[in-house]
Amino acid sequence: MSVTEKRPESPKAETRATSVSGYEAPAEALRLVTTFYSFKGGVGRSQALCAAGYVLARQRRKALLVDVDLEAPGLSIALLDEEARQARQGFVEIATDLSTQILNAVTDQKPLPENLVSQVASWISDSLQVLPENAYLGLDEKERTFVTFRGS
């Protein structure tokens, strides 16, 4: 898949046209997915994602940060306060719930609920949402590691 951007010919045009494999659409109509991953732990993946989220939020760009690190989740510790971590489900719960709802929708021919992610993700600014791996983890040691991001 190739992604190219070109400036509109008219200076009056408000958005840049974006082409993804030949499909032309306004830039705001397309969504960008960026993945931070590594097979090795302790390389700063969560901190890099927090920093990227911070930059996007400062630019007033909407972003959803999803923590899928099942062994050492860090986003909820870094970005959510204790109350928000306890009040929300995490990625594991939403994935389980979604798979159950998909199965029910297929077998019973029922529609899926709308805005499923927005029901469980926490807004930490007017443009940034966090879906933690598991909101019920109480990892005080990890919390001390990420305290600098929360204070930024």
Segments making up each domain of the chain, as ranges: 1-30, 35-151
Distance CA 8, CA 23 (A): 15
Q: How confident is the model at residue 16 (pLDDT cuts 50, 70, 90)?
A: very low
Distance CA 127, CA 9 (A): 30
Long-range contacts of 93-101 (CB under 8 A, 24+ apart): 93/120, 93/134, 93/135, 94/120, 94/131
Q: How confident is the model at residue 54 (pLDDT cuts 50, 70, 90)?
A: confident
Q: Dihedral angle at the C-alpha atoms of 57, 61, 64, 65, nearest 10 degrees? A: -40
**pLDDT digits 0-9 by tens, 75-107:** 777 777 777 766 666 666 666 776 776 677 667
User: Does pTM surpass 0.95?
Assistant: no
**pLDDT digits 0-9 by tens, 115-125:** 655 665 667 67
**Residue count (the chain):** 152
In this prediction, residues 33-51 reach a mean pLDDT of: 79
In this prediction, residues 49-58 reach a mean pLDDT of: 85
* Statement: residue 55 has pLDDT above 80: yes
Q: Residue 8, by phi and psi: left (phi above 0), alpha (psi -120 to 50) or beta? A: beta
Longest dimension (CA), the chain: 55
* Statement: residue 46 has pLDDT above 70: yes
